Every structure is written in structure tokens, then in C-alpha cells.
């Protein structure tokens, strides 16, 4: 209950600051709104892709067993007589 005295002061300050705001003499055409929406959607898509990428990397760290079982092994030899390396 000690902090209840701060809220009326804060509310008064917000009302006073917004009441004294000067008007903005600017014009935003209709295409500006769609440009802002497409920019926001682009940022959200980029963040989603980054989160997805790092989620799969993080998930592979905690996965049981070896995620890549053939790492560091020799490739299988070909039994095809027409392959390179056969006389």
C-alpha cells in the first residue's frame, strides 16, 4: 500500500504531457500504412525463421544418441566394375 501514492502522480504527469503535445502537420498517404504492415510482417517472418533455425540446433544438442551416425567413417567401397579405380 506504500506505492499507491505514486500512481496518481504518474497519471497526472502522463495526462499533462499528452495535453501539451503540439499538433503534427504531416500527411501520410494510404500506401504508407500498407508499407508499415509489410515491414512488420517481414520482421516477424525473419524472427520466426531465426527462431526455427536455432530451435532445431538446440533440439539436436539434447537429442539422445548421435544425430549424425556416419560422421568420421570411411565411404563404402563400390562393387561396380565400371567405377573409377577399377582396371
Q: Is the pTM of this model over 0.75?
A: no
- CA distances for 14 relative to 7, 9, 11, angstroms: 11, 9, 5
Tens of pLDDT, residue by residue over 24-81, are 888 888 899 899 999 999 999 999 999 998 888 888 888 765 555 555 566 666 666 6
Q: What's the domain count of the chain?
A: 1
Residue 22 lies in a domain: no
Residue 68 lies in a domain: no
Residue 13 lies in a domain: no
Residue 39 lies in a domain: yes
Q: Which domain holds residue 54?
A: 31-63
Residue 79 lies in a domain: no
Helix/strand/coil for 30: helix
Q: Quote the CA–CA distance of 12 and 19 in Å, as a whole number.
A: 10
Amino acid at each position: 500500500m506504500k506505492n499507491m501514492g505514486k500512481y496518481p502522480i504518474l497519471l497526472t504527469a502522463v495526462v499533462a504531457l499528452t495535453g501539451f503535445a503540439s499538433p503534427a502537420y504531416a500527411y501520410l498517404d494510404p500506401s504508407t500504412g500498407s508499407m508499415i504492415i509489410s515491414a512488420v510482417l517481414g520482421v516477424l517472418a525473419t524472427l520466426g525463421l531465426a527462431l526455427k533455425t536455432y530451435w532445431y540446433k538446440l533440439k539436436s544438442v539434447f537429442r539422445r544418441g548421435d544425430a549424425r551416425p556416419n560422421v568420421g567413417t570411411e565411404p563404402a567401397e563400390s562393387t561396380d566394375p565400371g567405377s573409377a579405380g577399377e582396371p
